[in-house]
With several copies, the nearest count.
Chain A
Amino acid sequence: MGQPNNYGFEEEAAYLKESARRFFGDKLPINELHGLVAGDPNPESQANVPWPKELWGQMVELGWPSLLAPESCGGVGMPWVAVAALLEENGRAACPSPLLSSLQSTAVLKACGDAGNAAMTELAVGRAATIACLDESASLYGQSVHLKDGKLEGSAHFVQDAGKAERFLVLARVLAGEDDSAPSESDSLALCWVHADAEGLSLCRNAIVDLTRDQARVDFSGVAAQVVLQDAAAAWQSALPALWVLASADMVGAAEWQLQTTVEYAQQRKQFDRPLGFFQAVKHDLVNVMIAIDESKSLLYSAACALDWEPERAVQSAHMVKASATDTAALASGRSVQCHGGIGFTWECYLHLYFKRQEHSQRLWGDAAWHRSQLAEILI
């Protein structure tokens, strides 16, 4: 199966993208976002994460968290390219919400076949969910939570939107024998569905740099788990490209905001009696950011389209876009602050929200070098 030239990006996807841009522009202008999340600058203060809950309610009403779920589960069954476009707008708005995490959870559940339907139905009615899968070294293969006799034990690290989630989709190592200490190659992996208020589950919130996310270590102590899929290694593996694509979409959108905001500043701000943008040091920097964004954006729709049309190419396309978007985010963050000069270094300038969100995203779900090394395994 090949890909359509236009990525299968049809009218309904374009409409979704456009209306999402308007939605965020109307409901979450940058000054309001800043007022909400940047109230307490003190870097030594503990994690406390205000976020626009009402907005999330409206997103649920618009059906956004259920876009990916099939109609049989109460979803809309939109193509991946449409969801990528939505998340691009989400990133452009730097919106703090469990939208990305919920859609990523859906992506994993979709890979579970019918076994994922019950959980997906909950997601489709607006239950915020997130994936708990990383160990302390951020390995993707669930080394630190295990499942035994239907109970979860251990800790999942770097869980995104943990404070907003009502459900956790937990990747756990299934212990077969008595020995529950050392993980081994032969352990199987299970996916479990856990309520946030389940007994034995507790959050240890991280104090993070990013003001538009929340993150926690989730501790499981004999938590009764609903097993979605007992032997989930293949499903998990096949869902990973979608997770990378969705995470990349957020970075591409945020980078575009960084570019446009800096371009506006370079048009208005004068130095030596000329607009900043006159100077090639600024102009060429911004052009390089634009080029990087466009490369990532083109790879984004190509990879999303692969998820829709050409799943056999999805892994390599997804590695490409996450590697590219990560580098783009780093470049856009650095250049946006540097080109703003002094004002860009202040808390009152909105840039820092995006700078921090991008830094956060860059190192989640594999950094650029890791994705390139995986790609090399495929292509060399």
Chain B
Amino acid sequence: MTEQERKDSPEQVEFRAYCRNWIQGNHPGQPSSRLPLSPLEIMTREQLAYLQSWQKSAYDAGLVGCDYPTEVGGGGRTDCQRVANEELIAAKTPFYPNVIGLGMAAPTVFHHGSDELKQRLLPRLFSGEDIWCQGFSEPGAGSDLASVQTFAERSGDTWRINGHKVWTSLAHFAEWMILLLRTDKSHKYDGLSYFVVPIASRIGQGVTVRPLIKMTGETGFNEVIFEDLEVSDAYRLDELGKGWQVAMTTLLHERGAGGLTTPRAGGLKSDAALTVTARSAIELAKNTRRGADQASADPLLRDRLMKQVIREQAFAENQRRARVPALNDHPMRLPLQTKLLATELAQDTSALALDIAGPSASLYLADDAAPARGQWPLAYMNSYGMTIAAGTSEIQRNILGERVLGLAKSK
């Protein structure tokens, strides 16, 4: 019995057995082409189709959205998503493609959307049929989210939207976007509102999606330009002028449990892709020759590897301790560290792997001789996407210093 299992409720015990059994019979197997490192790096329709079909089958089996009410397409269970995810991880299934939908859009729509919106949008979100993206950052508003300029002008029950969003992962595949915009130019925070808006169905009708290319050469995130996009007021979440509060719900889910970085509603990695862990780096070290020895015999590399092992273990234990109130003086102290720690850990582990690989670290995806098929340099470069997106590491440290330690705001 694993650690998790010992504390299972009767419902969880039963559900765990069900999941395990279902996964055994329905593991999708290896895809025909390389899978990306994470859902945010999906590049081709072929990759997407494989992953969407996997999410749909898992949803149909009841493994996605387990804890949401049945009225919105959920499973109506209590604290069972965790169980499903644990079983999926253990079975090394691929991840779900709709990671922004599951991690950020679903809780936001659920907490702030009308009943009609929830019932209409959430089932296809859970099933992965509708991919979601997030429209927060703008060219002039990266870290300073409250300065977004995308503007919606009202005329009756219709809003006309103009603006420019960047860093919108998955937008080129998305049916829907969660969108933070401005409805009042005279108030910085209270002038913000929050909408869900259609993307794919309005391309050319007010919406342009222009793929940006990452420093790795991969596509996967985009600019989205709105020119007189018209949407109904029914697509608004919560009240007018409450956009900032709604955005906080989104970010709390993003930062807290790390929609982008840790599996939340079942965002799991494929066996085919490299996992950026100390364990993988140790394997690399064992398989890398350094003069007459293995690189894993080098005392300096061993020391650095153990530092990463220890940080990883501490990260896992942080999540565990966060749920023991007697061992927490401030309820947000550990949750607000999650995104920062996970992303910097991945950055340092992949940098270490490059040092282990030595000159072979120069070899990239298309080189047959590349260690781990060139995915280490890819992972290292992508780690900067992680430490920059969704609030840079610097902003995360500000938030921790201000909200947890009570230090004066650095602005």
Contact = CB atoms under 8 A, between A and B. Distances in A.
A and B touch in the complex (CB under 8 A): yes
Interface of A: 2-7, 9, 13-14, 17, 41-47, 134, 136-139, 157-158, 206-210, 215, 217, 263, 266-267, 270-275, 277-284, 286-288, 290-291, 294-299, 301-302, 320, 323-324, 330, 334, 337-338, 341-342, 344-349, 351-352, 355, 359-360, 363-364, 367, 369, 372-373, 375-376, 379-380
B364 A209 contact: yes
Contacts of A9: 324, 326-327
Contact of A324 (B310, B340, B360, B411): B310
Contacts of A3: 3
23 contacts: A7-B320, A7-B327, A43-B378, A137-B358, A270-B140, A271-B144, A277-B406, A283-B401, A283-B410, A286-B401, A291-B340, A291-B400, A294-B333, A301-B327, A324-B314, A338-B393, A341-B142, A341-B143, A347-B215, A352-B215, A376-B302, A376-B305, A380-B305
Given A207-B364, A348-B213, A363-B361, A283 B309 contact: no
Contact of B313 (A7, A279, A320): A320
A206 B1 contact: no
A294 B309 CA distance: 16
A296 B406 contact: no
B326 A14 contact: yes
B369 A206 contact: yes
A375 B215 contact: no
A208 B364 CA distance: 5
Contacts of A337: 215, 384, 388
Interface stretch (B17-25, B93-101, B251-259, B284-292): B284-292
Given A3-B3, A294-B334, A295-B311, A301 B302 contact: no
B397 interface: yes
Contacts of B365: 43-44, 207
Interface string B191-218: 0000000000000000000001111111
B21 to A, nearest CB: 22
B307 interface: yes
Given A277-B401, A375-B309, A344 B388 contact: yes
A98 B86 CA distance: 45
A211 B404 CA distance: 32
Which of B7, B282, B285, B355 gathers the greatest number of chain A CB atoms within 10 Å?
B355
B24 to A, nearest CB: 22
Contacts of A347: 212-215, 217
B238 to A, nearest CB: 25
Nearest to B324: A6
Contacts of B351: 330, 334
Contact of A275 (B213, B370, B407): B407
B309 A379 contact: yes
Given A4-B7, A14-B326, A294-B337, A380 B303 contact: no
B361 A359 contact: yes
Given A267-B407, A337-B384, A347-B217, 12 more contacts: A4-B7, A5-B3, A5-B4, A263-B407, A277-B408, A284-B398, A291-B341, A291-B400, A298-B314, A302-B313, A320-B314, A352-B215
A207 B362 CA distance: 8
A291 B217 CA distance: 31
Contacts of B410: 278-280, 283
Listed residue (A46, A323, A345) with the most chain B CB atoms within 10 angstroms of its CB: A345
B389 interface: yes
A280 B337 CA distance: 17
B291 A137 contact: yes
Given A345-B384, A372-B307, A281 B406 contact: no
Q: Which of B285, B307, B340, B364 has the most CB of A within 10 A?
A: B364
Given A210-B362, A359-B361, A294 B318 contact: yes
Contact of A373 (B302, B323, B400, B411): B302
